[in-house]
Structure 1
Amino acid sequence: MSLVNKAAPDFEANAFVNGQIKKVRLSSYRGKWVVLFFYPADFTFVCPTEVEGFAEDYEKFKKKNTEVISVSADTVYVHQAWVQHDERVAKAKFPMVEDRKGTIARAYDVYNEETGNAQRGLFIINPDGIVKYVVITDDNVGRSTDETLRVLEALQSGGLCPVNWHEGEPTIKV
């Protein structure tokens, strides 16, 4: 069942953020847009490319009143070790949330019961806490931060946006 146009499941969990372990609660970001992305595991092959991509574009998202939050089944201590050992991941300034029991991934319907990891799911949540966009892809395929930013801008435009629409282009008038 799709979460689009439904309330984003709230959660509170430990996260590794800028060298510190902190509690993160999704509802504390009300008033901002949120890009919440799940990935299978730290110390893998595709996942660090995604974390690096969102880290490199983090300021672009912040300028759009948007917070980025990542979630995996790894603990905050594994996140910390990953940040310390992978220069790509070390670029991340956004919360890296732990989900050891898969509670958050299950709430977003991206938990893989066979592996015990999250699937590659991405959710854009509006400032009122409503899910406006969902994409779930195979573990072998990383997501595009450019496309995520494009969709975010389209959602923020409030208009009807045609295929391949980009910020500054006209929306559809009815």
Structure 2
Amino acid sequence: MLSINEKFPDFDKKSVVSIEYGKEFENISSSRLVSTADAWTVMFWWPKDFTFICPTEIAEFNKSHGEFKDRDAFLIGASTDSEYVHLAWRKNHPDLADLKFPMLADTSKSLAEELGILDKDEKIAYRATYIIDPSGVIRWVSVYDLNVGRNVKEVLRVLDALQTDELCPCNWVKGQERLTV
């Protein structure tokens, strides 16, 4: 599995960005991650569309979208389902209809495989979350079991800590003192 201080892989994938007819799809590429100075990226993966835990996580990331945006972080959701399945799910699930971030479709499973987050048996992505700095380097990765949802507040906390570029103690939250050496 790719880990911290490694370059996030290059990719160019179809994504669902809207449910409005004619504006549903857009290509998202790794060049977009490093094209904006000082922009961070948070990419989170879920195993399958039309499941039970996944929409709770996606909805929570969506509720927190403004907080990621305030931190100059581009949010991307991803799975190995196709863009058409993503679109159908968004149209079918009320919590997903108004997403403010793209749903990346890794139908070839090439990106999930390169990241090392593809389940060997089912060939679906684990619940992985990456924080990628403006130069395209992975600064944090977290992977959860297929049956356990992640904590979006923890992703925000870690992003805050990484963006200070200082030493942050255990359980540190934005606004608290950082360590001095």
Shorter-normalised TM-score: what interval? over 0.9
Q: Which moved more, 1:155-164 or 1:26-35?
A: 26-35
Q: Kindly report the root-mean-square deviation, in angstroms, between the aligned alpha carbons of the 2 structures.
A: 1.0
Q: Detail structure 1 runs of 4+ shifted over 6 Å in the superposition.
A: none
| Percent identity for Structure 1 against Structure 2 | 37
Q: Is the 8 A contact 1:16 1:96 kept in 2?
A: yes
Counterpart selection for 1:153 from 157, 160, 165: 160
Partner of 1:96: 103
Give the CA deviation at 1:138. Answer: 0.3
Give a deviation string over 1:96-142, Cα, whole Å, max 9, x none: 01111210101111011310210111100001111000100101111
Partner of 2:139: 132
Q: Is the 8 A contact 1:52 1:91 kept in 2?
A: no
Cα distance between partner residues in 2 of 1:161 and 1:91 = 35
Q: Confirm or deny that 1:21 pairs with 2:28.
A: no
Partner of 2:57: 50
Q: TM-score, normalised by structure 2?
A: 0.93
Structure 2 spans left out of the alignment, 5+ residues: none
Give the letter for the 1:23 counterpart.
Answer: N
Number of matched pairs: 174
CA distance change for structure 1 residues 77 and 2 in 2, over 3 Å: closer, same or farther? closer
Q: Confirm or deny that 1:107 pairs with 2:114.
A: yes
Cα distance between partner residues in 2 of 1:162 and 1:153 = 12
SS at the partner of 1:104?
Answer: helix
Cα distance between partner residues in 2 of 1:70 and 1:62 = 14
Q: Which moved more, 1:159-168 or 1:85-94?
A: 85-94
Cα distance between partner residues in 2 of 1:91 and 1:149 = 21
Structure 1 spans left out of the alignment, 5+ residues: none
Give the letter for the 1:104 counterpart.
Answer: L
Cα distance between partner residues in 2 of 1:102 and 1:15 = 14
Give the letter for the 1:25 counterpart.
Answer: S
Q: TM-score, normalised by structure 1?
A: 0.97
- Larger strand proportion, structure 1 or 2? 1
